[in-house]
Amino acid sequence: MYTKMLDAVYSCFQCGACTSVCTASAVDKLYNPRKLVEYLISGKDTANYPLQKCFSCHTCEYICRSGISVAGIVKVLKEKSVNRYENENKNIYRDTIFEKGLSVTPDVHSPDKFPEWGYSWERIHSDMWKLRSELGLEGLHREIPRKSLDEIRTILESKTAVDERIRGERRVEMKKIIPESRIYLFHSCIADTHYPGITTSIKYLFDALDIDYIDDPGHSTCGGFAYYGDKIPFSTLLALNARNFALAEEAGYPNVAPVCQTTYGVLMESAEILKSGMGQRVNEEILSTVNRKYKGEVNIAHVSEILWAQRDRIKERIKHSYSHSHSLDNLRVATHNGCHYTKVFKKLAIPNLLDELVSVTGAEPVEYAEKSLCCGMGFGHTIEQERRALTREIAQRKLLSAKEAGAEVLVVACPGCQMTLDRNQELIEREIGMDIQLPVLNYAQFIAIAMGADPYSVAGMQTHSIPFTPVLEKIGFA
């Protein structure tokens, strides 16, 4: 049942710290996490409470002295709606998982569905086949083999007693080892759709550092974007990832390394639940239908953590790869870590991870006032057109804060954050009547360029809405 998560509200001090830092409350005063908890404690009806306004950033959980996750409670309250997923006749995210094994593809984020992203996205989207081919990639998105798709569909069609109520079950707290080998690279749907150069940069770095990894085409989406966007239940997400973990274990590469930080949070949460008695139920009721078995052997570390552990080697490689013609020395860089890395599993997060990775390139990390602010993606805020203005309001605060601090580049660790802060800049600039023009890069793209990788054939700068060309000219690459 959901009881355990909802019972947590009774440890609330009603101090209001959650509301003071809440991303949603900052743009809509009708959303007040302290007030929601008060309603739950007093037994008031929450049927008309604007739950959909939550950005799922978990800043409330990060700040709370009692460790209460109002964002998690909001998801539970949404899931309690009877047949909320089955009642949606047209659910492109659920259908795309069934048809392609992915949550996001170019069809799902086409310009007609996202006119706010402007001409730059329209141009990039129309040229994506060619742009991917320049990176040595085929097709418009990552293709999952037919046999794997059949397994995914079988799992999605399974009738089972394992449902979204599992989110309130007992968990086994995950421990993490940052691996150096036997790494199972776990793709990001958003990265592969919008910025395929992120994954090619990661593989470039792994190869350059002789890191032992596999790139298995058989794993599915983690389901995070669709789940947090209220398009699939948690039970679907859990079943998909139980299969993904089984693939990594069977391959002998149990160190699962997600590209995306939302995926990191999703995989960590899934593993915690599966390591309880729920793993056996999932094996018996779901994975047995596709002849797979989850053993509980996976270790999860974000790709950025793996590279952070190699930062001394990276620094040496950069030092020896520099030519006299280009250098990132003294380039001013703001950083942004995804909320589902820093706030959901804060005890396991590495403080200043991105700043330290930026420093090894010779660039200068820049402090700025809104460094800890959510990017504004909000999942449902990006999916539902009527809420996208709220996403832009938060993204604008973030971008202007970094720009005012003197940043010339914004380096991020989550593809969803990159999409939000890059794709929305064009319209934000028109709305406020001023240029921002702050290039947004993934840390892997940034480090790969610092190590001498080609900005286009490896890092894929041509898929970005805000051009990186002025920065390349400054560092002597153009």
Provide block-wise average pLDDT over 10 residues at a time, the chain (478 residues): 65 91 91 91 86 92 90 84 54 93 96 97 97 95 96 86 54 87 98 98 98 98 94 92 98 98 96 88 93 96 98 92 72 96 91 96 96 95 95 97 98 98 98 97 97 95 96 84
Separation of alpha carbons 432 and 434, rounded Å? 6
DSSP state of 145: P
Q: What is the C-alpha end-to-end distance of the chain, expressed in Å?
A: 58
Separation of alpha carbons 282 and 284, rounded Å? 6
Biggest CA pair distance of the chain: 68
pLDDT given for residue 164 in this prediction: 47
- Strand order, beta sheet including 440-442: 364-365, 332-336, 409-412, 440-442
pLDDT given for residue 30 in this prediction: 87
Separation of alpha carbons 413 and 29, rounded Å? 30
> Are the C-beta atoms of residues 437 and 409 closer than 8 Å to each other?
no
pTM above 0.85?
Answer: yes
Separation of alpha carbons 295 and 283, rounded Å? 9
